[in-house]
Amino acid sequence: MSSEPTSDLPAPLQPLSNHIAKARRQYQQLLDRATPHIFYRWIGAAVVVALFELRIILVQGWYIVCYGHAIYILNLLLAFLQPRFDPSLQDDIMADEIEEGGPDGSSSPLPSSRDDEFRPFVRRLPEWKFWLSTTRASILCFFMTFSTIFDVPVYWPILVMYFCVLFVLTMRRQLQHMIKYRYVPFDWGRKTRYGSNGK
C-alpha cells in the first residue's frame, strides 16, 4: 500500500504537507489521551492562566490583552452555565400555542404534559470545549504579550472596574435565570433516579 499523499500539491510541498498532517494527528492523539483526565486538564489550564497573569503583572503592560482574555473567559463561563435549549424560549412557544388554541387546535389552556417530564441539563458549551477554548485562548494571549503591537497604552484600573461591574451584572442575571427556571448546572452528590419510587 502506497503512503504517498493524494493531494495535488507540487512535489516540493508534499513533505511539508506530510509533516503538517503528522503534527495534526499527534495533537489529536494528545487531546484524546487528555479527555478522561478532567481534574488534571483543569489544573493545567489554571497553570497556563496563572502564567499569563503573572507575565502581565511582571511586565506591567498588555492590559488590553488581559482584558480581552477575561471577557472571553467570562463568555465561555456563561455558555457553560446555560442550558442548550433556553427555557424562556420554550415558555414563549408554549404561550403562543395556548393563545392560538394549542397544537391540536383546542382552546383549552391546560398545561402540557411536557411541563412535568424530566429533561436533563444539557449545556450550551460542553466542559471539554470550555476547557479547550480556555487553554487555547490563554496560550495565545501569553504569546501575544511578546509582541509590542498588542501593548496598547490604557489606564488599567478602569478596565478592572469595568470587568468587575460586568461580571457582577452578568452573573446576577444568570442566577436569576437559574432560579426562575429552576435548573442547576452542576450535579454534585448522588444523582436522582427518575421513574422509580426512590428505591
The cell for 58 is: 511582571
DSSP letter assigned to residue 191: P
Q: What is the Cα–Cα distance from 132 to 140, expressed in whole angstroms?
A: 12
- With H, G, I as helix, E, B as strand and everything else as coil, classify residue 83: strand
DSSP letter string over 23-35?
Answer: HHHHHHHHHHHHT
Give the per-residue pLDDT at 186: 74
Confidence of residue 194 (pLDDT cuts 50, 70, 90): very low
Residue listed under C-alpha cell 506530510 = 18
Nearest to 164 by CA among 97, 62, 74, 59: 74
DSSP letter string over 126-145?
Answer: -HHHHHHHHHHHHHHHHHHT
Residue listed under C-alpha cell 428505591 = 199
pTM of the model: 0.73
pLDDT by residue (tens digit) across 18-36?
889 899 999 999 999 998 9
